[in-house]
């Protein structure tokens, strides 16, 4: 079509026809001509739009008038301004740019997808601003807008917190200046949505019974691990055998940058005796994970159906979360029984101490328990002694001792394969015990432990794991002390519980040696009657 400008009824407004989708109906491209600064100014001609975009001679005339008087920029001025803004923006650390830098610096941050959605949904108005341009009034306006739109206090707080986090990141990295609190202050909505799940004593009993009866031992052991340690679900899933220090009695929770603790740093919690016993019962395979997936090779990622089956069997509340709820139960029971909040914080690996404060109200119960305990200590009552001793000299009694020895050895020595102990059963019953002087301990007629000596050598001292911490081992040794002037024994160095026990009972280490059967280091200890 012709490139000729044709005049309209409006002065200084022209058009030319260009081909459209329909040849019979051409499109008009409108132009304006004007001078700035009167007749002495240069003649400017600019396109202002197409008829298909809604442009008309009247609209073009209005644009012409604004540009002639300088109220609106010319096309050339507009282009220059945009280029200037683009160059300026490249040197400006806007909220959007800081957000991209924040994400690049935290590639392993688990909540990044959720925060990305928060940014897109709630912080778009701040994207092109630098922190220095944001003030308290703008933040308050965002809070009020979200509240009025029906967003929960939690959603509103998370949006504000994300904006504050981005700005603090910029300050920390030296990308923007420190923000004066008198100019920029974040007023957060108040929340009251902390959920602390704590099972009652009766519920805990039902749960332990259901765990014991469950055919799914992996799920059962996983729940027991959460119950006894308070570890997070993800920490349990990523726990490897190499993370468990049986010798020094600790569980290492490897940080997120390597494997997965929520706090992003390596943590260490004590390996308690119940956990040591539990791990002694867990079947080990070539898989490095303590709780591997069903393929036996990779780590576990979900066990919801299995643990919910146990939860249902225990008749627990519907809203109880099987693994996370056990973490709360662990903390609640600890605080209620006098464990200081500072210790609970370390056991739960809480980086922020305020998270542990949700259990503070339970300290009142601990105080009551302490008062009751003191009252009980002040009362002088005679407790009947139910433990009796007898020397074993029959095959049936040796078989009973062997059963006690096997159970205690497997639980007390998780660093030694179970098959080693099982392979020694027959020799224990038929050779070792008959050649020793065996003292059996009975509690109300039920065998609960034994000690075996060969001259002054204490060859064995074992108590049923279910009766540990009842003083049976101590009483067996005290009985032997009346029959011997001195005693000597060898104990595995990794069995720290046993080493500590014998030390308390007066044994002193005299040398180190290697067990010829297992290759494990042993400490030889000696006791002499004072």
pLDDT in tens, 185-218: 898 887 655 555 678 888 889 999 999 888 999 8
Judged by DSSP in three states, 289 sits in strand
pLDDT, tens only, 148-190: 999 888 899 999 999 999 999 998 888 888 878 888 889 888 7
- Longest CA span, the chain: 129
Which distant-in-sequence residues (6+ apart) come within 8 Å of 452 by Cβ?
401, 432, 433, 436, 437, 438, 439, 458, 459, 460, 461
Alpha helices in 282-394 (DSSP H): 304-313, 322-336, 341-347, 363-378
Tens digit of each residue's pLDDT (9 = 90 or more) over 350-391? 776 666 666 665 556 656 666 665 555 455 444 455 788 999
Which pair of tokens denotes residue 35? 């001078």
Share the mean pLDDT of the chain: 85
75 three-class SS: helix
CB-CB contact of 430 with 442 (8 Å): no
Q: What is the rounded distance in angstroms from the CA atom of residue 510 to the CA atom of residue 216? A: 46
Please tell me the predicted confidence (pLDDT) of residue 197. 66
User: Model pTM?
Assistant: 0.42
DSSP β-ladder status, 457-463 and 446-454: antiparallel
Number of residues that make up the chain: 530
Choose among 465, 510, 458, 500: nearest CA to 481: 458
For residue range 298-351, list pLDDT tens digits in order: 888 888 899 999 999 999 888 888 888 888 888 888 877 777 877 877 887 777
CA trace torsion 423, 425, 426, 432 (10° rounding): 120
Quick: pLDDT tens for 19-33: 877 777 889 999 999
Non-local (6+) Cβ contacts of 511 within 8 A are 523, 524
Is residue 330 within 8 A of residue 242, CB to CB? The reply is no
What does the alpha-carbon distance between residue 258 and residue 108 come to, in Å, rounded to a whole number?
10
**DSSP assignments along 118-164, one per residue:** HHHHH-GGGTT--GGG--HHHHHHHHHHHHHTT--HHHHHHHHHHHH
Give yes or no for residue 68 having a pLDDT over 90.
Answer: no
Closest CA relative to residue 280, chosen from 495, 97, 19: 495
């Amino acid at each position: 079509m012709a490139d000729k400008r044709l005049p309209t009824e409006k002065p200084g407004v022209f058009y030319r026809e260009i081909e459209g989708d329909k040849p019979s109906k051409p499109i008009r491209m409108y132009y304006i001509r004007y001078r700035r600064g009167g007749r002495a100014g240069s003649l400017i001609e600019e396109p202002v739009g197409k008829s298909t975009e809604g442009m008309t001679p009247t609209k073009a005339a209005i644009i012409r008038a604004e540009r002639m008087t300088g109220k609106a920029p010319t096309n050339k001025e507009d282009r220059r301004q945009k280029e200037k803004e683009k160059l300026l923006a490249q040197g400006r650390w806007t909220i959007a740019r800081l957000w991209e830098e924040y994400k690049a610096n935290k590639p392993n941050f688990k909540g990044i997808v959720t925060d990305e959605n928060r940014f897109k949904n709630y912080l778009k108005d701040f994207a092109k601003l630098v922190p220095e341009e944001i003030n308290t009034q703008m933040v308050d306006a965002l809070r009020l807008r979200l509240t009025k739109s029906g967003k929960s206090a939690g959603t509103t707080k998370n949006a504000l917190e994300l904006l504050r986090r981005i700005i603090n990141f910029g300050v920390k990295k030296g990308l923007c200046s420190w923000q004066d609190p008198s100019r920029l202050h974040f007023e957060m909505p108040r929340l009251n949505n902390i959920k602390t799940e704590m099972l009652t004593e009766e519920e805990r009993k039902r749960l332990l019974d259901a765990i014991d009866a469950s055919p799914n031992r992996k799920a059962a052991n996983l729940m027991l691990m959460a119950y006894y340690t308070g570890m997070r679900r993800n920490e349990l899933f990523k726990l490897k055998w190499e993370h468990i220090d049986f010798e020094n009695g600790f569980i290492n929770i490897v940080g997120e940058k390597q494997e997965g603790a929520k706090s992003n740093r390596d943590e260490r919690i004590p390996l308690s005796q119940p956990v040591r016993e539990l791990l002694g019962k867990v079947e080990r395979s070539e898989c490095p994970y303590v709780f591997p997936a069903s393929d036996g090779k990779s780590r576990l990622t979900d066990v919801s159906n299995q643990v919910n089956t146990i939860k249902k069997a225990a008749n627990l509340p519907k809203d109880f979360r099987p693994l996370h709820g056990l973490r709360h139960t662990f903390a609640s029971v600890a605080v209620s029984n006098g464990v200081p909040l500072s210790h609970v914080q370390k056991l739960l690996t809480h980086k922020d101490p305020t998270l542990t404060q949700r259990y503070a109200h339970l300290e009142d119960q601990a105080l009551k328990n302490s008062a009751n305990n003191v009252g009980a200590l002040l009362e002088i009552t005679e407790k009947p002694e139910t433990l009796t001793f007898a020397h074993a000299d029959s095959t049936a009694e040796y078989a009973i001792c062997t059963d006690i020895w096997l159970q205690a050895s497997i639980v007390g020595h998780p660093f030694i394969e179970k098959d080693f102990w099982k392979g020694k059963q027959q020799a224990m019953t038929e050779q070792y015990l008959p050649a020793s002087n065996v003292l059996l301990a009975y509690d109300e007629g039920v065998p609960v432990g034994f000690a075996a000596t060969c001259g002054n050598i204490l060859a064995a001292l074992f108590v049923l794991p279910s009766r540990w911490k009842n003083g049976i081992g101590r009483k067996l040794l005290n009985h032997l002390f009346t029959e011997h002037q001195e005693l000597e024994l060898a104990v595995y160095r990794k069995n720290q519980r046993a080493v500590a026990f014998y030390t308390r009972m007066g044994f002193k280490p005299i040398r180190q040696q290697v067990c010829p059967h297992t290759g494990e280091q042993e400490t030889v200890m000696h006791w002499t009657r004072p």
